[in-house]
Homo-oligomer: A and B are copies of this chain.
Amino acid sequence: MPQELVLALDAMGGDHAPAMVVRGANIARVRHPNVRFLLFGDEHTIAPLLRRYSKLARVAEIRHTTEVIGANDKPSLAIRKGRQSSMRLALDAVDAGQAHGVVSAGNTGALMVLARLVLKTLPGIDRPAMGTIFPTQRGESVILDLGANLECSARELVQFAVMGEVFARTVLGVTRPSVGLLNVGSEELKGGETLRQAATLLRESGLSINFHGFIEGDDIAAGTVDVITTDGFTGNVALKTAEGTARLYTEFLRTAFKRSLLARVAYLLARPALKKLRERVDPRAYNGAMFLGLNGVTVKSHGGTDHKGFANALDVAIDMLNQGVNPKIIEELSSLGLQGLQESRRAAL
């Protein structure tokens, strides 16, 4: 039986919070009987919601606070003024050993900065990265960074590769995950100096990583590799471009089925098939970006998601804890002699 896990939830983060947080936790409770929840937020709004789910209420505890970090607050403001905010207190709970991980659908920038401030990076990691799982022609892959670090050094890219590899191995269950560096061509001489340095490090530094080499944008959805490593600027643009393209395609499909009476009849018959398709590209199914490289599991849910999406973000955090992703990242970095890849600790935030 798996150990008991405690998740600290920022119950006030997200467009539909706290209702979707409570309902999402109730879905997760059924899926994961070993998990308890600390709900950080306004008990006057959370308590009535919790009363509707008596089984959840038995494994959940409200930690009252009225402060909330706004969706548009700057991270710097969140640091200065957010000490009693639901997000900050949830992170503090992990730091104090009261919870194993945090899930928030609140302000991404604030969560990133506060998580790093409160939890600190793992030994061997200069900067944490934001990653996510997404569907491909071959199954699922993981891509990182998605915007935590707009520009990255070769060393940081290598650290991301190690973290992504551990994640794919432990959470996705891939035996020997292949790792690619996102570039504008697959030839060795393509791309800028940083990318070429990172490729050299991955190829020659004695890492046991299954390094595929450079990949291109269309390799992401093709599933050419299990782990896509890139800087945060490129990863953010690529992931959002993919999301936008999927929406465009869905819209084109909808229009196509409205063109004629025959098409409308075909649509009625095709509905079960199209439902399956929608499930495969449902962004809620892939909700939950993880911050890798921190002392403590932190997962960011999409702000606009509903309870089903939030439950999936909880799954990501629980999977990471059950599989011991963080201890394995530390182990991997130290056993592979990667300490040389760590820069001197950066100035505190």
Nearest to A251 among chain B residues (CB) is B137
Q: Contact at A246–B249, with CB atoms within 8 Å?
A: yes
Residues of B within 8 A of A84 (CB): none
Given contacts A251-B137, A252-B281, contact A233 B263 (CB under 8 A): no
Q: Mark A130-163, 1 if CB is under 8 A from B, else 0.
A: 0000011100000000010011000000000000
Stretch among A171-179, A254-262, A323-331 lining the B interface: A254-262
From B245, B260, B277, A253 is in contact (CB under 8 Å) with B277
User: Is the Cβ of B241 less than 8 Å from the Cβ of A150?
Assistant: no
Q: Tell me if A272 counts as interface (CB < 8 A to partner B).
A: yes
Q: Are the C-beta atoms of A238 and B236 separated by less than 8 Å?
A: no
A interface size (C-beta, 8 A): 55
Docked complex: A238-290 residues within 8 A CB-CB of B: 238-249, 251-253, 256-257, 259-260, 262-263, 265-267, 269-270, 272-274, 276-277, 280-281
What residues of chain A have their CB less than 8 Å away from a CB belonging to chain B? 135-137, 147, 150-151, 182, 184, 191-192, 216-222, 232-234, 236-249, 251-253, 256-257, 259-260, 262-263, 265-267, 269-270, 272-274, 276-277, 280-281
